[in-house]
Amino acid sequence: MKHDYYERREELRNKKRKKSSNKIASIFIIFMVITMLFLGYIHSQITPVNKNNSDKVKIHIREGEGSSSIVETLYQKKLIKNKFIFKIYAKTINKKDFFTGSFDLSQDMSVNEIIYFLTNKDNAKPLYTLSIIEGDNILKIAEKLEKLTGIKKQDFIDKINDKNFINKLSQKYPELITSEIEDDDIKYKLEGYLYPAKYDIEKINDENKDIESLISQMVWLTNEKVLPIFKKQELVWNISGDKEKVTIHKYITMSSILEKESTKSTDNEKIAGVFLNRLALNMPLQTDPTVYYSLNKTSGELTLEDLKNDSKYNTYVNYGLPPGPICSPGEKSYEAINNSSQHGYLYFLTDKEGKAYFSKTFEEHEQLAKEHIRGYVGSNEKIDG
């Protein structure tokens, strides 16, 4: 009887062990299935959004930008599938920070490839490239900058006229930034002093400092490029019958007018000669670009009232040079001033193809205008202010 009891107890124990083993096995299998499903899901979330789409998508990473903001950008640009998994994955496999700059990514890149790309300095391009071309003025540059970076146009203009900032530039570039730009009649103090070129903008963090840094680059380049051309020869101009040593400010001012008036580079020296002849005879320069500048206009027909406006920049009613430059001149304009032609011409005009015609008298000028400018009906030489 006792023997049967022990057998029965052992049998129950074996059943219990078997049941427990089966339960553990079931749990293990469920766990493995869940793990495989989870890993499969993770894998699906780190694979390319679209392995067949290699179109470049540009993203910008600014200095000090947090990871949440960067991940949000990647998600909004449809470069990653899952923000949370990207964050976890990035922390797990990546020990480096993302670099500041502009990056070209695509939907055929996996999360691993994106992380590697963003942590490789060689892939980081400047956030923005601002292109200033010959003839751009402060307003145009400010508009370009605002459209490109979001920096407000007025903030840029305010910095251009900031006395403390200008004093710092003057101390750094004393031969370039002189007391002449302190003239109260100058509209934008650093007009003409921002060299036309391409400028890489590496960051937009502290806008005030970034604007200062950008303008400083432009002024530095003017100092590097323009001063050597200016110093090639000591220019002396005949102004109203008096010989006058040319200052850097007058040099840039005259070059800026030539920049806006010139057509073919082969005519530049000749056009420069016309302006210098007019200065010598105390004739108003009567150049339309100064009128446009005085009115903050860039194009369109000028009316008689426009030509009579009382701005100091209007060279139809004022004699001599305007208070300051009207744009950023290029190297060809500076060189043309240095090599201005000596001739007796006092007038010039250009046809729609850009061909220039020169004349010594107003009557000749009028005749050429009637021949080469469609719709020209004649005008008076003098505009009474």
The DSSP line for 4-68 is HHHHHHHHHHHHHHHHHHHHHHHHHHHHHHHHHHHHHHHHHHHS-S-TT----EEEEE-TT--HH
What pLDDT, on the 0 to 100 scale, is given for residue 200? 87
Q: How far apart are CA 328 and CA 351, in angstroms?
A: 24
Burial letters 43-68, b for 16+ CB under 10 A, else e: eebbebbeeeeeeeeebbbeeeeeee
Q: Assign 348 to helix, strand or coil.
A: strand
Residue with tokens 């947090």: 66
Q: How far apart are CA 178 and CA 249, in angstroms?
A: 8
What pLDDT, on the 0 to 100 scale, is given for residue 181? 95
For residue 326 the two structure tokens come to 């009207």
Q: Assign 131 to helix, strand or coil.
A: strand
Over the chain (385 residues), the average pLDDT of each successive run of 10 is: 58 59 66 66 79 89 81 90 84 79 89 88 85 96 93 94 96 96 95 95 70 94 96 89 92 96 80 95 94 88 88 94 96 94 91 86 90 67 46
Answer yes or no: are the C-beta atoms of 45 and 85 closer than 8 Å: yes
Q: Checking phi first, is residue 354 left (phi over 0); if not, alpha (psi -120 to 50) or beta?
A: left
For residue 338 the two structure tokens come to 């240095």
Q: Assign 238 to helix, strand or coil.
A: strand
